[in-house]
Structure 1
Amino acid sequence: MKKVCLLLPNGFEAVEASVFTDVIGWNGEEGDGSTELVTVGTRKELTCTWNFTVIPEKVLSEVTVEEFDALALPGGFETAGFYEDAFRSDVLAFIREFDRQGKIIASICVGALVIGKSGVLEGRNATTYNLNGRKRQMQLAAMGANVQPDQPIVIDKNIITSYNPATAFDVAFTLLESLTSKKNTDNVKRLMGFLS
Structure 2
Amino acid sequence: MKVLLFLAKGFETMEFSVFVDILGWARNDYHYDIDVITCGFSKTVSSTFNVPVIVDRLIDGINVDDYDALAIPGGFEEFGFYEEAYNEKLLDLIRKFDKMRKTIATICVAALALGKSGILKDRNATTYHLRGGYRQKQLAQFGVNVVNSPIVVDDNVITSYCPETASEVAFKLLERLTSTEQMQVVKEAMGFC
Residue aligning to 1:169:
167
User: Deviation at 1:90?
Assistant: 0.4
2:111 aligned partner: 112
* Alignment deviations for residues 101-159 of structure 1 (CA, whole Å, 9 cap, x no partner): 0000000000100111100000000000000110000000001100002x100000000
Q: Percent identity?
A: 50
- AA aligned to 1:127 is T
Contact 1:34 1:180 in 2 (8 A): no
- 1:83 and 2:82 matched: yes
Partner of 1:25: 24
**Displacement of 1:177 after TM fit?**
0.2
Q: Return the offset for 1:194.
A: 1.1
Aligned residue for 1:190? Answer: 188
SS of residue in 1 equivalent to 2:183: helix
Partner of 1:93: 92
Matched residue type, 1:147: V
Deviation readout 1:25-71 (Å, 9 max, x if unpaired): 11101124221100011211111011101110111111111110000
Query: Helix, strand or coil: the match of 1:135?
Result: helix
Where structure 2 has 5 or more consecutive residues not aligned to the other structure, the ranges are: none
How high is the TM-score relative to the length of structure 2? 0.98
Answer yes or no: is the 8 Å Cα contact 1:40–1:56 preserved in 2. yes
- Count of aligned residue pairs for this structure pair: 193
Paired residue secondary structure (1:110): helix
**2:142: which partner in 1?**
143
Q: Which residue of 2 aligns with 1:74?
A: 73
Aligned to 1:62: 61
Q: Partner letter of residue 183 of structure 1? A: E
SS in 2 for 1:102: coil
Q: Distance in 2 between matches of 1:79 and 1:85?
A: 13
Q: Structure 1 runs of 4+ off > 3 angstroms? A: none
Q: Distance in 2 between matches of 1:30 and 1:90?
A: 35
TM-score, normalised with respect to structure 1: 0.97
